[in-house]
Chains A and B, each alone.
Chain A
């Protein structure tokens, strides 16, 4: 775990603790996590159900408050910001891809993609827009509403939306959880391409060893603690690590 400091980090957490509830009902979802996510890298977070993956991601993205510890995105420590500053930070520096319900049903694919920029009052970079659209292959679907798109297409719209504002980091919580393996593979390929070609930083939570193998690095959680990590994963090494953790 000492390797982290040598690479420039997009997101770092120190002593990150998250407790839900109080007293007897208290659930220690995160118990002091130190982790860094390198820029222009694709990192996967894995772990058994209930190990704290989603909680970690929400805390890293500033969607949820932390009980203790520090989180920084770039050089900004987000654990000190109030709601308004956090919102502005999310606008400028963070992209999201959720497992489901990523798109506003009233807007077309194109409007959904441009939504974060419009909220921030920024102009879309036309070249980037064209490149993203072509990368995710949505050119002929731009005028469609989400209800007219397949699940895979909807997720690709979500990926395009996350990419278009060139955020410092994209958080993805099981982005392929609802997709069949082919559509899932497509989406994962786009994510990896965007890291390689667009220099994007991505942190992805997943259950699927195959999905995790698209990443450059996988970190493993158990009971709210970071317990292992592997570089350059393959489906087999990920599966082996998971089995070893279960034991």
Chain B
């Protein structure tokens, strides 16, 4: 039996290539994920070890910074060769445009340092010298010798001579923010740090352990004293968490791909068994037991699974290498240290196990089917048509799953929007998918009719024959298309979700404050002079100042805020979950819903607002939606001024006057903020643009990753088609004899693939839209649902096109075979 299996496999190796490819891609993706994250992890721990290698003992601050006096004390401990302080704080660097650089505040650090390496120039030697990190120097176009400006704690500009650039090494936070380095003393002065974040110590001889004990005795309880090894493993552990996210995220897509591959394999084995009915029956005739037949198919699947998984591992190694390479080539700004690419034993075990198990499990049902072949089937000449009738069991299951799906979805949609509601909807979605899976063979026939309507009309006889062919084996077509459905569903789902989120955010912004410009400070507050400079221009309709200070609400610490009172009636339209902002007048207060929930406050209550020493009772008139732009505790402006004084602004929102020249309006805002480097202006289009960019970025990454599942399902379509072509060799020959041209025969198969692709896409988009909608209802009460019609249409068209692509090879093969040979073949 073993021999027969092997011989059979070798004889049909071509038709197994596509199946193997599906497994290879799935396993390859999973293995590739491990290879990538392992490589990054290895790279990180290498650099951590390297970084910590120079440090023998580190004294790290726990809560408060280490007092500067500690440095000298540690320096005089016996066995200490050298002790260097690590200062860390903010250094708002001013860029070429006169504004502070980047979204996040640039970090301020000090040299000398065991952690950072000077890459060009020299370390700062005097108060007037500074360095910036290589990446910031490149993006900002700073050169050694330039003068750079940095703001101090009071937002006063100080100039430094740039004497070099440095590498931030393994510090992810420094890499993200960018950094300026000074001498320790300047760093303390500029960042306003009152002490050191860390003191790094090298040994003059004693072992790290004994030096640690000696240093710890001096450092006191306010510090954590570690050896270099301990620091390295701490860093590696905190960083491991971030590659863990990457790994889990990628693996999720890997498993989706594997699921699709499983469907493809299930279908392929199903077709192979159906085609080999006579062969199997012959085996039964000459004495093979059911068990042997079953075993033979399982063995075949195991061999295919194992071989493909091994190839998959190789593919994974390649993909991992490619990802590492691309990361290094196209993302030089992201400082990801990468080691040498290797397959770890764990990756090998996981890759082989998933590939093998999935293949064998997918072949179980077809193998069971094979054991049902009666020996007498060998004697029948006419191949039976696979008529399909929906059995009672199928209908019962479909109804049960359908009801459960509908119930859960309804519950989730009608429930209060929160995470549980989302989970409920998602569970409903999974059940709905199973319902579709069960009902597939029933619905695929009418759907093929629908999808084939136009091709049937356009392409005449080949079109109509194709439609018939796509419907002749509903089970097969259903499994083939459902594999595609998975990918299309998830893509549509994401598209709907992101479109809706974007629309909702836009609408939220529009309805609450239709601002054209937003002025905010990167560090500190916005001086009053800015708002003053903005007032009195006819181009600007409203200038709303938002202010906030630390205060007390019913003796609890809360920020208290206010907004320019005149704009409350006109421009800012806060959304209240209970009560109304209309009643907001002196003596009242509006409170955000989360605060109200924490303190169990409701409309009509009196609360005490102010400072610890001086609090005034105010009447609550409205509980505000937490997405409202207003401060969490909003008091009338006059009350705020009396209690807290004329404090600087946190944020200024500006609207241009109707019909005003927008260029002029922008110029006014830019001029008003020009003297203050930390005060930055963003227009609503810029804010939306950034938001859109972020969302588009996520969407394209997700779509790209789901692309793998789509590719595998296309292999499935190609596989099904080529097996069908093989099965219908004589039919094709007959059609050719009757006068069907080669091109028409090719066209026929192409249309069949097109129909399969369209059916898969249709089901997928419907599922994706329904569950995209359902999911959006669980995000917030007031979503403005958007159907990205263009994108969905694109998915459908692309699926059809992909189906056509999948048909190219099988169709060519069908058209090439000789009529005479095919007619004679058994």
Question: Smallest Cβ distance from B380 to chain A, in angstroms?
Answer: 12
Docked Cα-Cα span, A145 to B382, in Å, equals 13
Give chain A residues whose Cβ lies under 8 Å from the Cβ of B465.
104, 106-107
Q: Give the nearest-CB partner of B821 in chain A.
A: A64
Contact A147:B739 (CB < 8 A) given known A58-B820, A101-B730: no
A101, B739: Cβ atoms under 8 Å?
Answer: no
Residues on the A chain within 8 Å of B472, using CB: 105-106
Stretch at the interface among A66-74, A113-121, A135-143, A186-194: A113-121
The verdict on B741 contacting chain A, using a C-beta distance below 8 Å, is yes
Best-buried of B385, B738, B744, B819 by chain A (most CB within 10 Å): B738
Interface window among A9-17, A90-98, A200-208: A90-98
A118, B464: Cα distance in complex, Å: 11
Do B461 and A98 touch (CB < 8 A)? Answer: no
Which residues in chain B, 715-759, are within 8 Å of chain A measured between CB atoms? 730-731, 734-742, 744
Residues of chain A lying within 8 A (CB to CB) of residue B740: 87, 119
Specify which of B381, B460, B468, B820 is in contact with A106 (CB 8 Å cutoff).
Answer: B468
Instruction: Tell me, in angstroms, the Cα distance from A91 to B472 when the chains sit together.
Output: 26
Q: Name B472's closest neighbour in chain A (CB-CB).
A: A106
Q: In the complex, A105→B744 CA distance in Å?
A: 19
Contact B819 A63 (CB under 8 A): yes
Partner among A54, A98, A116 whose Cβ is within 8 Å of the Cβ of B739 = A116
Given A88-B739, A90-B737, A90-B739: A105 and B385 interface contact (C-beta under 8 Å): yes
Please name all residues of chain B whose beta carbon is closer than 8 Å to the beta carbon of A119 when the two chains form the complex.
Answer: 461, 735, 738-740, 744
Docked-complex contact A121 and B734, CB < 8 angstroms? no
Known: A64-B820, A106-B468, A121-B460. A87 touches B736 (CB 8 A): yes
A101 to B381, CA, bound (A): 10
CA distance A188 to B220 in the complex (A): 113
Complex Cα gap A178–B382 (Å): 11
CB distance from A29 to the nearest CB of B (A): 11
CA distance A92 to B471 in the complex (A): 30
**Residue B400 is within 8 A (CB to CB) of chain A in the complex:** no
Q: Do B385 and A87 touch across chains, with their CB atoms under 8 A apart? A: no
Find residues 195-242 in chain A having any chain B CB closer than 8 Å to their own CB: none
What's the Cα separation between A92 and B741 when bound, in Å? 13
Residues from chain B with a CB closer than 8 A to the CB of A120 are 739
Q: Report the bound CA distance from A150 to B606 in whole Å.
A: 93
Find out whether the CB atom of A116 lies under 8 angstroms from the CB atom of B384: no
B460, B731, B737, B824 interface centre (most CB from chain A within 10 Å): B737
Task: Indicate which residue in B385, B739, B742 contacts A91 across the interface (CB closer than 8 Å).
Answer: B739
Give Cα A118–Cα B744 distance, bound, in whole angstroms. Answer: 13
Taking a contact as CB atoms under 8 Å apart, the answer to whether B730 and A115 are in contact is: no
A118 x B461 contact (CB < 8 A): yes
List which A46-70 residues lie within 8 A (CB) of chain B: 54, 58, 61, 63-64
For residue B383, which residue of chain A has the nearest CB? A105
**Which of A88, A102, A105, A147 is the most central at the interface, judged by chain B CB atoms within 10 Å of its CB?**
A105
Cβ-based interface call for A179 (8 A)? no
Task: List the A side residues contacting B385 at CB < 8 Å.
Answer: 105, 145, 147
> How many of chain B's residues touch chain A, expressed as a range?
20 to 34
A100 at the interface (CB under 8 A from B): yes
B252 at the A/B interface (Cβ < 8 Å)? no
Chain A residues contacting B824 (CB-CB under 8 Å) are: 54
Which residues of B lie under 8 Å from residue A58 when comparing CB positions?
820
Q: Check B742–A98 contact: CB distance below 8 A.
A: no
* Beta-carbon contacts under 8 Å, B430-466 to A: 460-461, 465
Q: Which of A96, A147, A178 contacts B384 (CB 8 A)?
A: A147
Which chain B residues lie closer than 8 Å to A90 at the CB level? 737-739
Contact residues in B for A77 (Cβ distance below 8 Å): none
Q: Please, which residues of chain B bring their CB within 8 A of the CB of A130?
A: none
Are B384 and A104 touching (Cβ within 8 A)? no
Q: Indicate whether B376 reaches chain A with its CB closer than 8 angstroms.
A: no
Answer whether residue A83 sits at the interface, using C-beta atoms and an 8 A cutoff: yes
| Residues B461 and A147 in contact, CB atoms below 8 Å apart | no
Which of these, B381, B471, B739, B742, contacts A100 with CB under 8 Å?
B381
CB proximity of A124 to chain B, nearest CB, Å:
14
Structural contact, A118 and B460, CB atoms closer than 8 A: yes
Given A90-B737, A90-B739, A102-B734, residue A63 in contact with residue B820 (CB < 8 A)? yes
* Cβ contact within 8 Å between A84 and B741: yes
B580 within 8 A of A: no
- Name the distance in Å between B822's Cβ and chain A's nearest Cβ: 10
A178 surroundings in chain B (CB, below 8 A) = 381
Q: Is B738 a contact of A106 with CB atoms below 8 Å?
A: no
Complex alpha-carbon distance, A108 and B116, angstroms: 81
* B469 close to chain A: CB less than 8 A: yes
Given A63-B819, A63-B820, verify A104-B731 contact (CB < 8 Å): yes
A101 to B735, CA, bound (A): 11
Distance of A46 from chain B, by nearest CB (Å): 19
Q: Return the CB mask of B471-509 against A: 1 if under 8 Å, else 0.
A: 110000000000000000000000000000000000000
A176 → chain B closest CB, angstroms: 15
What separation, in Å, do the CA atoms of A147 and B383 have in the docked complex?
Answer: 9
Q: Which A residue sits closest to B471, measured CB to CB?
A: A106
- Complex CA gap A87/B820 in Å reads 14
- Within the complex, the shortest CB–CB distance from B727 to chain A, in Å, comes to 11
Interface residues of B in 346-393 (CB under 8 A from A): 381-382, 384-385
Report Cα–Cα, A147/B460, bound state, in Å. 25
List chain B residues, Cβ under 8 A from A104: 465, 731, 734-735
Chain A residues whose CB sits within 8 angstroms of the CB of B820 once the complex forms? 58, 63-64
B701 at the interface (CB under 8 A from A): no
Complex CA–CA separation, A102 to B465 (angstroms) = 16
B contact residues around A92 at 8 Å (CB): 739
Residues of B within 8 A of A105 (CB): 385, 472, 731
B817 at the interface (CB under 8 A from A): no
Could you tell me if A64 and B739 are in contact, using CB atoms closer than 8 angstroms?
A: no
B344 at the interface (CB under 8 A from A): no
B420 contacts partner chain A, Cβ-Cβ < 8 Å? no
- Which residues of chain A are within 8 angstroms of B468 by Cβ–Cβ distance? 106-107
User: Per-residue 0/1 for B386-406: is the Cβ within 8 Å of any A Cβ (1 yes, 0 no)?
Assistant: 000000000000000000000
6 interchain residue pairs of minimum CB distance:
A91-B739, A106-B468, A64-B820, A90-B739, A118-B461, A87-B741
Task: Give the B-binding residues of A (Cβ under 8 A).
Answer: 54, 58, 61, 63-64, 83-84, 87-88, 90-92, 96, 98, 100-102, 104-107, 115-116, 118-121, 145, 147, 178
> Can you sample 15 A-B contacts with CB below 8 Å?
A54-B824, A63-B737, A63-B820, A64-B818, A64-B820, A87-B739, A90-B738, A96-B734, A101-B823, A102-B734, A104-B734, A105-B472, A106-B465, A119-B739, A121-B460
Extra inter-chain contacts (20) besides given A119-B735, A147-B385, CB under 8 Å:
A58-B820, A63-B820, A64-B818, A64-B819, A83-B742, A87-B740, A87-B741, A88-B739, A90-B739, A92-B739, A100-B381, A102-B734, A104-B465, A106-B469, A115-B738, A119-B739, A119-B740, A120-B739, A121-B460, A147-B384
